[in-house]
Chain A
Amino acid sequence: MGFLFEDDNFALFRDGFLQTIELSALSALLALLLGTLLAAFRVSPVPVLRAFGTTWVTLFRNTPLTLLFFAVTFGLPALGVHFSHLAFAVLALGGYTASFVCEVIRSGINTVPLGQAEAARSLGMGFGQTLTLVVLPQAARTVLAPLSSVFIALPRNSAIAGAFSVSELYSAQQTFSEKGYSIFSIFFWIACAYLVISATVAALFRFLESRLAVAR
């Protein structure tokens, strides 16, 4: 267990930990924005946009994340797109998670009482106004619980990025095992790090839920 505090191991571990957090935060941001946009597409009155949203969700929800990372890391450079490994990872993880966020938000939109949208329409609001001013703010509250499980899964999924040249916690684990430390003590520390991250995300969402909860 003590190997972590020998040599430069702690620096490596810390950098991996911070990189995991950075990757997760950026992907979460992308997923939230893109997911909301896709959800808006999927309920919009324009058939083309609805079809686009549906196609995106079907494709990305049913593709293994490893394959997405593979496609982004090896496919995009072949097309002349050259970003950093982190940016590639954010694209893959964000695009994948966005499809789940979209589904969660869409089902949240469906839980808002009908009268709300009807009242907004009868006041003369258009689709955009009804959605952004009336329905989405109310949907956000009911959506928090299922969103929390999506965003708790996100840092766990980010481990796969480590296998595609992003130096985060998984690659720290690889480096430690190459240095020959016992796999059990490595696993112990990495596990602790991930438990801390998911506990933090869970606590954040509990806080949000208690702040935003509304008696129905």
Chain B
Amino acid sequence: MSKTSTRVPTASVLYDAPGPRARNRYRLFGVLSLLGVAGLLWYAFTALDDNGQFDPQLWDAFQYNTVQQWILEGLLATLKAFGLAALFSLTLGSLLATGQLSDHRPVRWLCVSFVQFFRAMPLLILIVALYYAFFAKEPMWALVLGLTLYNGSVQAEIIRSGVNAVPRGQAEAAYALGMRKTQVMAGILVPQAVRSMLPSMIGQLVVTLKDTSLGFIITYQELLFIGKKIASQPLNAAGFPYIPVVLVIGPIYILLCLLLTALARWIEARGRRGANRRTSAAA
């Protein structure tokens, strides 16, 4: 995956630097596709407008303090479930990864099958089963536990492959110095692996954040559930504001995910900077 800075992606050499005729052709395509996209947007707009989705009455709901309060509470509930799930799944992931890298065959076998099973299970099925079996009164814990089991397994795979991706010589050198397995892991391999696996761990956290919306189905009062609650209240004659709700809730989720992704990018860039400095110092 790692690309040196001199490597040009293939995508940028798929076409020549355009000459005068090609430039005209690209311009024509550009205008045509711009018209296409504009037509699509226009169609969406008129469809929304014709069906009265821009009727101010339909958007009234968002002016009530109670509704704004609900959205805030829903957002907090989403973030709470996400925070707990992130914490637990990273912990579980580290434990499972340790187990998968263990020298004892039964431990390794147990952890590998645990991880494989929960990675193959649909999260929704898992959460609903937990909800009916143990947490009928507290949907939040069904959601958090389900997210933890699934994402913990995925995190375990990320950590395991990260540790395995550290050059073999590192572990061999450490063993040759007389270090124990625990020392090699904690002192040599994990610190080096963390740098390469942080971006994908945060990527998985984005997935965790998105999956908190499954709480909607088991009636956990998170953002999407609140959205449904707002949308299904016949506030006035204008109808049910499903589309306004989507247009309000959607950007909140997208913004949260983009923030996390930006964090991952930043950490990746920092890691690369450190790696470059180290190689240039060694040379």
The chain A residues found within 8 Å of chain B, CB to CB, are 42-43, 45-49, 52, 58-59, 61-67, 70-71, 74-75, 78-80, 106, 109-114, 116-118, 121, 126-127, 130-131, 135, 152, 155-160, 162-163, 169-170, 173-174, 177, 183-184, 186-187, 190-191, 194-195, 198-199
In angstroms, how far is the closest chain A Cβ from the Cβ of B83? 17
Contact between A156 and B122, CB atoms less than 8 A apart: yes
The residue in chain B whose Cβ has the minimal distance to the Cβ of A198 is: B120
Contact between A64 and B53, CB atoms less than 8 A apart: no
Whether A114 contacts B13 in the complex (CB less than 8 A), given A63-B250, A78-B53, A198-B120, comes out as yes
Complex alpha-carbon distance, A74 and B11, angstroms: 39
Contact between B261 and A62, CB atoms less than 8 A apart: yes
Residues on the B chain within 8 Å of A80, using CB: 47, 50-51
Contact between A64 and B210, CB atoms less than 8 A apart: yes
Complex alpha-carbon distance, A207 and B138, angstroms: 44
Q: Is B34 an interface residue (CB 8 A)?
A: yes
Complex alpha-carbon distance, A213 and B248, angstroms: 46
Complex alpha-carbon distance, A156 and B125, angstroms: 9
Residues on the A chain within 8 Å of B37, using CB: 48, 52
Contact between B125 and A190, CB atoms less than 8 A apart: yes
Other-chain contact of B254, A59, A75, A110 (Cβ < 8 Å):
A59
Other-chain contact of B257, A46, A62, A71 (Cβ < 8 Å):
A62
Other-chain contact of A74, B213, B217, B231, B258 (Cβ < 8 Å):
B231
Number of interface residues of B (CB under 8 A): 55
Q: Is B10 an interface residue (CB 8 A)?
A: yes
The residue in chain A whose Cβ has the minimal distance to the Cβ of B231 is: A74
A-B contacts besides A110-B11, A112-B10, A114-B8, 8 pairs, CB < 8 Å: A65-B213, A66-B217, A70-B216, A79-B53, A111-B10, A127-B14, A160-B214, A199-B120
Q: Is B16 an interface residue (CB 8 A)?
A: yes
Contact between A64 and B211, CB atoms less than 8 A apart: yes
The residue in chain A whose Cβ has the minimal distance to the Cβ of B249 is: A67
Can you list 5 A-B contacts with CB-CB less than 8 angstroms, sorted by A residue number?
Answer: A45-B18, A78-B53, A117-B14, A158-B122, A184-B133
Residues on the A chain within 8 Å of B48, using CB: 79
- Secondary structure dominating the interface of A: helix
Q: Is B121 an interface residue (CB 8 A)?
A: yes
Complex alpha-carbon distance, A203 and B133, angstroms: 33
Q: Is B64 an interface residue (CB 8 A)?
A: no
Residues on the A chain within 8 Å of B34, using CB: 48
Contact between B30 and A62, CB atoms less than 8 A apart: no
Q: Is B95 an interface residue (CB 8 A)?
A: no
Contact between A64 and B33, CB atoms less than 8 A apart: no
Query: Which B residues from 43 to 67 make CB contacts under 8 A with A?
Result: 47-48, 50-51, 53
Whether A121 contacts B242 in the complex (CB less than 8 A), given A65-B210, A79-B48, A190-B125, comes out as no
Contact between A173 and B128, CB atoms less than 8 A apart: yes
Complex alpha-carbon distance, A62 and B253, angstroms: 7
The residue in chain B whose Cβ has the minimal distance to the Cβ of A156 is: B122
Whether A126 contacts B15 in the complex (CB less than 8 A), given A67-B246, A75-B243, A110-B9, comes out as yes
Q: Is B271 an interface residue (CB 8 A)?
A: no
Contact between A63 and B253, CB atoms less than 8 A apart: yes
Complex alpha-carbon distance, A159 and B126, angstroms: 11
The residue in chain B whose Cβ has the minimal distance to the Cβ of A161 is: B124
In angstroms, how far is the closest chain A Cβ from the Cβ of B212? 8
The residue in chain A whose Cβ has the minimal distance to the Cβ of B211 is: A64
Whether A117 contacts B13 in the complex (CB less than 8 A), given A66-B213, A66-B224, A160-B124, comes out as yes
Complex alpha-carbon distance, A75 and B212, angstroms: 21
Contact between A78 and B125, CB atoms less than 8 A apart: no
The residue in chain A whose Cβ has the minimal distance to the Cβ of B134 is: A183
Residues on the B chain within 8 Å of A191, using CB: 117, 121, 125
Contact between B242 and A78, CB atoms less than 8 A apart: yes
Contact between B10 and A64, CB atoms less than 8 A apart: no
Q: Is B29 an interface residue (CB 8 A)?
A: yes
Complex alpha-carbon distance, A121 and B210, angstroms: 42
